[in-house]
Structure 1
Amino acid sequence: MIDDPLTEGPEDDSNVVGHAQGMYAFADQQEFALLMTMNFVFSGGSYDGSTLSVMGRNPVMEQVRELAVISGSGEFRFASGYAQAKTITMLDPNGATIVEYNVYVSH
């Protein structure tokens, strides 16, 4: 299960714009890949209460991974598109992994 802060950038003092909530499971016995189902839940601003739902196979060791945006709510109702994930830091001294998501969506 995940419930991590969703921020504008990777810095410790970056503005929190919501949470990434969902779950993942191992999806491959030969490589480090995850099945991910995740909601970006936005708080504050014009997207307050809106969500984007992302799902797909995440081959973690690839530099850039692509996941499907399968739905949304609020301002993102009827959303579709894709998200590109790129690991910025894996297991920093605090045990955190920082992933950058670039999301391209039609709604």
Structure 2
Amino acid sequence: MEEKKILWLALILHMITAPVYGRYYSQSVPYASPRKKVSKLHFFFHDRISGKNPTSILIARPNITGEDKSPALPFGSLFAVYDPLTVGPKPTSEIIGHAEGLYVSSSQDALTLVIYLDFGFTSGSFNGSSFSLFSRNPVTEKEREVAVVGGRGKFRMARGFAHLKTRFTNETDSGTVVECRATVVHH
């Protein structure tokens, strides 16, 4: 009998305390930050998936048994990227850094990529700093907008957006030249 009382008492205590541990807990605190800066950048990046010196390499391809409707890259293709960033649209323009990251073909109907690219600068006032994009990139549209989601160095805590415009496409050798106009809010 005594054991049943202890069991009931333990059960009641458990029922009383269980909702406390199961509740969502959130605390908001004021965010004191130094004055934010806005940087507007304009540069070009050059992406080549073929030719003598490709800057994007296929690292995984899906095993598709059905018919793939995507025009250029099969749905699910994954690429590693190391694209030069230049001050002008010509491949011989001054290199100011590199875009490093990944992109995956993410549509079964039209060529759309989900990109993660880190734009790292190796010269100029942003030398040693980078900002990152992570966004859907519908590359068949000549102009599109992608999200800036972070950064390091002078772009610490970056957010913002980048307008991408395809300036030139030739898959045989010179690849694609993309103009980037980024607005980056950072600390």
How far 1:4 sits from its partner (Å)?
1.1
The code of the aligned residue for 1:59 comes to: P
How far 1:45 sits from its partner (Å)?
2.1
Unmatched 5+ stretches in structure 1: none
* Structure 2 counterpart of 1:102: 181
Which residue of 163, 166, 177 corresponds with 1:87?
A: 166
Tell me if 1:77 matches 2:156.
Answer: yes
Q: Flag the structure with larger Rg.
A: 2
CA distance in 1, matches of 2:135, 2:95: 25
Moved over 4 A (4+): none
In terms of fraction of residues, the more helix-rich structure is 2
CA distance in 1, matches of 2:152, 2:106: 27
* Structure 1 counterpart of 2:32: none
Which residue of 115, 132, 137 corresponds with 1:53?
A: 132
Q: CA RMSD for the aligned pairs?
A: 1.2
**Pairs aligned (count):** 107
The code of the aligned residue for 1:51 comes to: S
In terms of fraction of residues, the more strand-rich structure is 1
CA distance in 1, matches of 2:147, 2:154: 18
How far 1:92 sits from its partner (Å)?
5.5
Q: TM-score, normalised by structure 1?
A: 0.94
CA distance in 1, matches of 2:101, 2:170: 19
How far 1:44 sits from its partner (Å)?
1.8
Q: Deviations over 1:61-85 (max 9, x none)?
A: 1121111000010010011100111
Q: Greater relative contact order (Cα 8 A, min sep 6): structure 1 or 2? A: 2
How far 1:90 sits from its partner (Å)?
1.1
CA distance in 2, matches of 1:93, 1:32: 18
CA distance in 1, matches of 2:119, 2:129: 8
How far 1:9 sits from its partner (Å)?
1.2
How far 1:93 sits from its partner (Å)?
5.0
CA distance in 1, matches of 2:184, 2:109: 32
Q: TM-score, normalised by structure 2?
A: 0.55
- Percent of aligned positions with the same letter in both sequences? 41
